[in-house]
Amino acid sequence: MTNDRAVARLQVALAAFGLLTASVVGAFAVGLVGAPSVVAVENRFGDVNQNRTIINTGLTVDNPNPIGVRLGDSTVNYTVLMNDVEMARGSKAGLRIESGNSTLPFRTRMFNERIPPWWVSHIRNDEVTNVTIDATVRTSVLGNRSFDLDQQQEVETDIISAFASDETRPVDGPSNPLYDNPVLYINSTDAEWGEVDRRTTPIPMEFVVYNPQLEPYTITEVGYDISMNGVPMGQGTTDETYVIPGGSTETISTTPTIDNRNLDEWWVSHLENDQRTTLRIDFYARVELPTGNEIRVPLDRLTYTQEFETDIFGTRNGTDTGDGTATPAGTSTPTPTPTPTPTDDGLLDDGTSTATDDGVVDDTPVPGATPTGTATDDGLLGSLTRAQG
C-alpha cells in the first residue's frame, strides 16, 4: 500500500512537471513569454602555443522571463573573421539561460596556420584589419528562430612609413689610413610594401648615398636581417653593384623580405607580449675601395626599429570578471531571423559540444624618418618609435 501511494505521488509530480513544461514551451511559442536574445559578445585571447591560440568568449544572453530555461535543442554558433579570413568557428549546444542577463563562457581554438593568410590580407588592405565577430543563438523552442549579434572592430597599424626620411646620416667604416671617415653619407631613405603573397612580404627600399671622398667607391653588396620581437623573419643581400663617383650621389635599392612561414611563430611572441611587436631591420654594406680592398661597413645609422600594437578584440586593456567569463562590451542590436538547422562544413570536429564539457569547442583549420610616429585616432595603437644605432 505504501509503495502504491509513493507511485501515485510520483505520477502526480511528473504530470505537474509535464504540464508546467508544456505551458512554458507553449508560452514561448505564442509569444506570451519573452524570447531570450544575444545582447553582447566579448572575446579575449587565452593560452597560445606554437600550433594554436585559445579565444575565450563571453556571450551575454538576455532572458526577460522570471525563470531560467534550459534549451536542449538550442545552439550557439560563433565565427571570427579578420578581413574575411575565417580564423575560428565554434558551436555549443544545451544552453542553460538564467533569468535576466547571463554570460555563457566557452572557448574556441584558432589554429596559428591562419595567421599568414590574415597577415597577407592586412598588408594588402593598407595595414587595416576589420575584425568581425558573428554570434548566433538558434532554438527550435521558439519555432526555429535565430538571434544574431555582429560586432565590428577595426585594427590599424603603421609599420614601415617612418622609414621615409630626409635626415642626413654619416656612415663610418673601420679605421683605415686609406680613407677618412665618414666613408659615406645617407641623405634620404624610403620604403613601401611590395607584392605580398602567401610565402613572402617584400619591402622595397631606397637609399640615396653620397660619397664624400675624391675617389669612387663600389658598393658590391647590401645585406639585411629582419626580426620581429627577436624572432628571425628574413635575411638576404642585393645582387646589384653600384659605383659612386667621388663627390656624387647614387640611389641604392634593396628589398628586405619577410618570410611568411615564420609568422605563426611571431604571432605567439606578439600575444605573449600583450599584442606588442618590435620590428627591427639591420643593414650592412660591402664597399670596394679604389685600392681594390673590400671592407664590410655596418650601416648602424640605417637600422630601422618600429614598435606597433594591436587590439584585435578591443579588450586588451580591459579586465576579466575573475570567474572565467567576460564583461560585456560594445553595442550591437540582435536581430531575430528564421533559419534552417546549421550543417557541419568541416570546420568543426563534431559539430557541437555538450553543455557539460566546460565550454571547449574544437575547430579544424580552414585549408588553405621621423623619430616618433603618431597613434591612430581610434586608440588601437600606442606610440610608434624609430630608433637609430
pLDDT tens digits, one per residue of 13-57: 444 444 444 444 555 444 445 667 778 888 999 999 999 999 998
Confidence of residue 145 (pLDDT cuts 50, 70, 90): low
Task: Give the ranges where 31-146 is alpha helix by DSSP (H).
Answer: 115-124
Comparing 24 with 230, the larger pLDDT belongs to 230
pLDDT tens digits, one per residue of 158-203: 999 999 999 999 999 888 777 789 999 999 999 999 999 999 999 9
**Interatomic CA distance for residues 97 and 355, integer angstroms:** 11
Mark residue 287 as left, alpha or beta (left: phi above 0; alpha: psi -120 to 50; beta: remaining). beta
**Report field, pTM of the whole predicted structure over 0.75:** no
Query: Residue 151: which of 60, 270, 75, 63 has the closest Cα?
Result: 60
**Interatomic CA distance for residues 318 and 117, integer angstroms:** 28
pLDDT tens digits, one per residue of 67-77: 766 655 678 88
36-157+313-361 against 161-309: fold identical: yes
Task: Give the ranges where 144-210 is alpha helix by DSSP (H).
Answer: none
Q: What is the CATH number of domain 161-309?
A: 2.60.40.10
Query: Residue 279: which of 298, 301, 263 has the closest Cα?
Result: 263
Query: Residue 281: which of 163, 123, 126, 371 has the closest Cα?
Result: 163
How far is residue 309 from each of residues 87, 120, 285, 319, measured CA to CA in Å?
19, 17, 31, 18
C-alpha cell at 159: 609599420
Q: What is the DSSP string of 15-50?
A: HHHHHHHHHHHHHHHHTSSPPPEEEEEEEEEEEE-S
Asked if 17 contacts 9 with a C-beta cutoff of 8 angstroms, the reply is no
**String of b and e for 296-320 (b: at least 16 CB within 10 Å)?**
ebbbebbbbbbbbbbbbbbbeeeee
Q: Which helix (H) or strand (E) holds 218?
A: strand 217-228
pLDDT tens digits, one per residue of 328-337: 333 333 333 3
**Interatomic CA distance for residues 91 and 353, integer angstroms:** 7
Q: For residue 366, what pLDDT is reported?
A: 33
Class of domain 36-157+313-361: mainly beta
Residues 6 or more apart whose Cβ sits within 8 Å of residue 187: 166, 168, 208, 209, 210, 249
**Interatomic CA distance for residues 30 and 48, integer angstroms:** 46
Asked if 108 contacts 55 with a C-beta cutoff of 8 angstroms, the reply is yes
Asked if 118 contacts 263 with a C-beta cutoff of 8 angstroms, the reply is no
How far is residue 35 from each of residues 17, 25, 74, 143, 160, measured CA to CA in Å?
21, 11, 12, 11, 50
What amino acid is encoded at 274 in this protein?
Answer: D
| Least confident residue range of 80-84, 94-98, 105-109, 237-241 | 94-98
**Interatomic CA distance for residues 35 and 142, integer angstroms:** 7
pLDDT tens digits, one per residue of 348-375: 333 333 333 333 344 333 333 333 333 3
**Interatomic CA distance for residues 12 and 4, integer angstroms:** 12
Q: For residue 370, what pLDDT is reported?
A: 33
Q: What is the CA radius of gyration of the chain?
A: 30
Q: Which helix (H) or strand (E) holds 313?
A: none
Query: Residue 134: which of 95, 94, 63, 84 has the closest Cα?
Result: 84
Query: Residue 73: which of 149, 144, 148 has the closest Cα?
Result: 144
Q: For residue 272, what pLDDT is reported?
A: 97
Query: Residue 139: which of 44, 19, 66, 33 has the closest Cα?
Result: 33
The number of CA neighbours under 13 Å toward the Cβ of 386 is 21
Instruction: Give me the residue spans of the domains in the chain.
Output: 36-157+313-361, 161-309
